[in-house]
Chains A and B, each alone.
Chain A
Amino acid sequence: DTAVSQTPKYLVTQMGNDKSIKCEQNLGHDTMYWYKQDSKKFLKIMFSYNNKELIINETVPNRFSPKSPDKAHLNLHINSLELGDSAVYFCASSLRTGPSEQYFGPGTRLTVT
Protein backbone atom coordinates (compact mmCIF):
# COMPACT_ATOMS: atom_id res chain seq x y z
CA ASP A 1 0.00 0.00 0.00
CA THR A 2 1.52 3.29 -1.07
CA ALA A 3 1.25 5.89 1.69
CA VAL A 4 2.06 9.03 -0.32
CA SER A 5 1.89 8.74 -4.09
CA GLN A 6 2.76 11.24 -6.80
CA THR A 7 2.12 11.31 -10.51
CA PRO A 8 3.88 11.51 -12.81
CA LYS A 9 7.24 10.17 -11.64
CA TYR A 10 9.08 11.80 -14.54
CA LEU A 11 8.09 14.88 -16.48
CA VAL A 12 10.05 16.26 -19.43
CA THR A 13 8.65 19.37 -21.03
CA GLN A 14 9.63 22.51 -22.89
CA MET A 15 9.98 26.02 -21.60
CA GLY A 16 6.74 27.95 -21.57
CA ASN A 17 4.49 24.93 -21.10
CA ASP A 18 2.03 24.46 -18.23
CA LYS A 19 2.11 21.22 -16.23
CA SER A 20 0.55 19.67 -13.13
CA ILE A 21 1.80 17.20 -10.55
CA LYS A 22 -0.68 15.27 -8.44
CA CYS A 23 -0.25 13.97 -4.89
CA GLU A 24 -2.42 11.69 -2.79
CA GLN A 25 -1.95 10.32 0.72
CA ASN A 26 -3.92 7.46 2.25
CA LEU A 27 -2.61 7.94 5.80
CA GLY A 28 -5.49 10.05 7.04
CA HIS A 29 -3.10 12.94 7.70
CA ASP A 30 -4.29 16.53 8.06
CA THR A 31 -1.25 18.33 6.68
CA MET A 32 0.39 18.12 3.26
CA TYR A 33 3.46 19.79 1.77
CA TRP A 34 5.23 20.49 -1.48
CA TYR A 35 9.03 20.58 -1.46
CA LYS A 36 11.54 21.33 -4.22
CA GLN A 37 14.89 19.50 -4.14
CA ASP A 38 17.56 20.97 -6.37
CA SER A 39 20.56 19.23 -7.92
CA LYS A 40 22.56 19.75 -4.72
CA LYS A 41 19.95 17.81 -2.72
CA PHE A 42 18.79 20.91 -0.86
CA LEU A 43 15.14 20.54 0.20
CA LYS A 44 13.10 23.74 0.20
CA ILE A 45 9.51 23.98 1.41
CA MET A 46 7.16 25.57 -1.08
CA PHE A 47 3.68 25.18 0.36
CA SER A 48 1.90 23.56 3.25
CA TYR A 49 -1.81 22.85 3.61
CA ASN A 50 -3.68 21.87 6.76
CA ASN A 51 -7.18 20.49 6.20
CA LYS A 52 -7.29 22.10 2.73
CA GLU A 53 -6.19 25.48 4.12
CA LEU A 54 -2.92 27.08 3.02
CA ILE A 55 -0.67 27.63 6.04
CA ILE A 56 2.82 28.02 4.56
CA ASN A 57 3.45 29.84 1.32
CA GLU A 58 7.14 30.46 0.90
CA THR A 59 8.61 32.89 -1.59
CA VAL A 60 7.70 30.98 -4.70
CA PRO A 61 6.92 32.54 -8.10
CA ASN A 62 3.24 33.10 -8.82
CA ARG A 63 3.59 30.60 -11.65
CA PHE A 64 3.32 27.88 -8.98
CA SER A 65 -0.19 27.33 -7.69
CA PRO A 66 -1.15 24.59 -5.25
CA LYS A 67 -4.65 23.23 -4.99
CA SER A 68 -6.11 20.96 -2.32
CA PRO A 69 -9.52 19.56 -3.35
CA ASP A 70 -9.69 17.55 -0.11
CA LYS A 71 -7.29 16.78 2.71
CA ALA A 72 -6.00 13.64 1.01
CA HIS A 73 -4.92 15.44 -2.16
CA LEU A 74 -2.56 18.29 -2.89
CA ASN A 75 -1.79 19.14 -6.50
CA LEU A 76 0.78 21.53 -7.90
CA HIS A 77 0.21 23.44 -11.13
CA ILE A 78 3.10 25.24 -12.79
CA ASN A 79 2.55 27.83 -15.51
CA SER A 80 5.07 29.05 -18.09
CA LEU A 81 7.78 26.60 -17.09
CA GLU A 82 11.37 27.88 -16.97
CA LEU A 83 14.72 26.09 -17.11
CA GLY A 84 15.30 26.87 -13.42
CA ASP A 85 12.19 24.90 -12.50
CA SER A 86 14.04 21.67 -13.28
CA ALA A 87 14.28 19.78 -9.99
CA VAL A 88 12.70 16.94 -8.07
CA TYR A 89 9.40 17.90 -6.44
CA PHE A 90 8.37 15.98 -3.35
CA CYS A 91 4.97 15.81 -1.79
CA ALA A 92 4.81 14.96 1.92
CA SER A 93 2.19 14.60 4.61
CA SER A 94 2.11 14.64 8.40
CA LEU A 95 -0.49 13.79 10.98
CA ARG A 96 -0.83 17.43 12.00
CA THR A 97 0.90 20.77 11.76
CA GLY A 98 3.78 20.71 14.17
CA PRO A 99 7.00 18.81 14.64
CA SER A 100 5.53 15.46 13.64
CA GLU A 101 7.02 12.98 11.22
CA GLN A 102 6.63 13.87 7.56
CA TYR A 103 6.07 11.03 5.11
CA PHE A 104 7.41 11.70 1.64
CA GLY A 105 6.25 10.57 -1.75
CA PRO A 106 8.69 9.13 -4.31
CA GLY A 107 9.20 12.48 -6.01
CA THR A 108 8.51 13.87 -9.49
CA ARG A 109 11.62 14.54 -11.54
CA LEU A 110 10.86 17.59 -13.69
CA THR A 111 13.15 18.46 -16.57
CA VAL A 112 12.50 21.63 -18.53
CA THR A 113 14.28 21.89 -21.88
Chain B
Amino acid sequence: QKEVEQDPGPLSVPEGAIVSLNCTYSNSAFQYFMWYRQYSRKGPELLMYTYSSGNKEDGRFTAQVDKSSKYISLFIRDSQPSDSATYLCAMTPMDSNYQLIWGAGTKLIIKP
Protein backbone atom coordinates (compact mmCIF):
# COMPACT_ATOMS: atom_id res chain seq x y z
CA GLN B 1 0.00 0.00 0.00
CA LYS B 2 1.35 3.41 -0.96
CA GLU B 3 1.72 6.00 1.81
CA VAL B 4 -0.36 8.48 -0.20
CA GLU B 5 -3.25 7.40 -2.39
CA GLN B 6 -4.76 9.59 -5.08
CA ASP B 7 -7.22 8.63 -7.82
CA PRO B 8 -5.46 9.23 -11.15
CA GLY B 9 -8.71 10.10 -12.96
CA PRO B 10 -9.21 11.59 -15.44
CA LEU B 11 -11.91 13.69 -13.83
CA SER B 12 -13.95 15.56 -16.45
CA VAL B 13 -16.36 18.31 -15.41
CA PRO B 14 -18.13 21.19 -17.21
CA GLU B 15 -16.86 24.73 -16.92
CA GLY B 16 -18.21 26.51 -13.83
CA ALA B 17 -18.60 23.32 -11.77
CA ILE B 18 -17.15 22.85 -8.29
CA VAL B 19 -14.31 20.35 -8.38
CA SER B 20 -13.29 18.18 -5.46
CA LEU B 21 -9.88 16.46 -5.52
CA ASN B 22 -8.80 14.14 -2.71
CA CYS B 23 -5.91 12.22 -1.21
CA THR B 24 -5.79 9.70 1.59
CA TYR B 25 -2.68 8.81 3.54
CA SER B 26 -1.57 6.23 6.05
CA ASN B 27 1.19 7.95 8.06
CA SER B 28 -0.29 9.80 11.04
CA ALA B 29 3.01 11.71 11.41
CA PHE B 30 2.29 13.84 8.35
CA GLN B 31 1.85 17.47 9.40
CA TYR B 32 2.40 19.58 6.28
CA PHE B 33 0.11 19.18 3.30
CA MET B 34 0.53 20.69 -0.14
CA TRP B 35 -1.26 20.77 -3.45
CA TYR B 36 0.72 21.21 -6.65
CA ARG B 37 -0.62 21.78 -10.14
CA GLN B 38 1.20 20.37 -13.15
CA TYR B 39 0.36 21.40 -16.68
CA SER B 40 1.26 19.03 -19.49
CA ARG B 41 5.03 18.92 -20.14
CA LYS B 42 5.75 21.38 -17.34
CA GLY B 43 7.10 21.10 -13.81
CA PRO B 44 4.72 21.09 -10.80
CA GLU B 45 3.94 24.44 -9.17
CA LEU B 46 2.69 24.97 -5.62
CA LEU B 47 -0.99 25.92 -5.28
CA MET B 48 -1.82 25.55 -1.61
CA TYR B 49 0.02 24.72 1.60
CA THR B 50 -1.57 23.87 4.95
CA TYR B 51 -0.21 22.86 8.31
CA SER B 52 -2.05 20.30 10.45
CA SER B 53 -5.84 20.27 10.29
CA GLY B 54 -8.33 22.83 9.05
CA ASN B 55 -9.22 24.82 5.95
CA LYS B 56 -7.32 27.35 3.91
CA GLU B 57 -8.80 29.48 1.16
CA ASP B 58 -7.07 31.31 -1.69
CA GLY B 59 -9.32 32.78 -4.33
CA ARG B 60 -11.24 29.98 -6.01
CA PHE B 61 -9.19 27.30 -4.23
CA THR B 62 -9.85 25.79 -0.80
CA ALA B 63 -7.63 23.19 0.84
CA GLN B 64 -9.04 21.05 3.61
CA VAL B 65 -7.24 18.67 5.96
CA ASP B 66 -8.96 16.07 8.13
CA LYS B 67 -6.22 14.41 10.16
CA SER B 68 -8.63 12.17 12.05
CA SER B 69 -9.65 10.55 8.76
CA LYS B 70 -6.20 10.96 7.15
CA TYR B 71 -7.89 12.70 4.24
CA ILE B 72 -7.13 15.93 2.41
CA SER B 73 -9.15 17.74 -0.24
CA LEU B 74 -8.73 20.55 -2.74
CA PHE B 75 -11.86 22.33 -3.90
CA ILE B 76 -11.95 24.50 -7.01
CA ARG B 77 -14.94 26.84 -7.38
CA ASP B 78 -16.13 28.23 -10.73
CA SER B 79 -13.75 25.92 -12.59
CA GLN B 80 -12.21 27.24 -15.80
CA PRO B 81 -10.71 25.43 -18.82
CA SER B 82 -7.35 26.86 -17.71
CA ASP B 83 -7.65 24.74 -14.54
CA SER B 84 -7.23 21.62 -16.70
CA ALA B 85 -4.04 20.02 -15.39
CA THR B 86 -2.81 17.23 -13.14
CA TYR B 87 -3.15 18.00 -9.43
CA LEU B 88 -0.67 16.34 -7.09
CA CYS B 89 -0.92 16.21 -3.34
CA ALA B 90 2.26 16.05 -1.28
CA MET B 91 2.85 15.79 2.44
CA THR B 92 5.65 15.55 4.95
CA PRO B 93 6.12 14.71 8.60
CA MET B 94 7.91 16.90 11.10
CA ASP B 95 11.26 15.19 11.07
CA SER B 96 14.78 16.22 10.19
CA ASN B 97 14.44 15.47 6.49
CA TYR B 98 10.97 16.89 5.73
CA GLN B 99 10.98 14.69 2.68
CA LEU B 100 7.86 15.23 0.58
CA ILE B 101 5.78 12.14 -0.11
CA TRP B 102 3.72 12.53 -3.27
CA GLY B 103 0.41 11.24 -4.52
CA ALA B 104 0.26 9.98 -8.10
CA GLY B 105 -1.77 13.00 -9.25
CA THR B 106 -5.34 13.40 -10.57
CA LYS B 107 -5.80 14.54 -14.14
CA LEU B 108 -8.55 17.18 -14.29
CA ILE B 109 -10.31 18.20 -17.51
CA ILE B 110 -12.62 21.21 -17.54
CA LYS B 111 -14.89 21.16 -20.58
CA PRO B 112 -15.89 24.57 -22.03
Q: List A residues at the B interface (Cβ < 8 Å).
A: 4, 40-45, 48, 55-56, 90, 92, 97-99, 101-107, 109
Contact A101 B43 (CB under 8 A): no
Binds A, one of B18-26, B72-80, B99-107: B99-107
Closest 3 CB pairs of A and B: A104-B43, A99-B32, A43-B102
How distant is B54 from chain A, measured CB to nearest CB, in Å?
Answer: 16
A/B pair count, beta carbons within 8 Å: 57
Among B1-50, those with CB < 8 Å from A are 8, 31-32, 34, 38, 41-46, 49
By secondary structure, the B interface counts as strand
Interface size for B (C-beta < 8 A) is 25
A-B contact pairs, 7 of them (CB 8 A): A40-B104, A41-B8, A42-B105, A48-B97, A92-B43, A102-B44, A102-B100
Contact B43 A56 (CB under 8 A): no
Q: List B residues at the A interface (Cβ < 8 Å).
A: 8, 31-32, 34, 38, 41-46, 49, 51, 86, 88, 90, 92, 97-100, 102, 104-105, 107
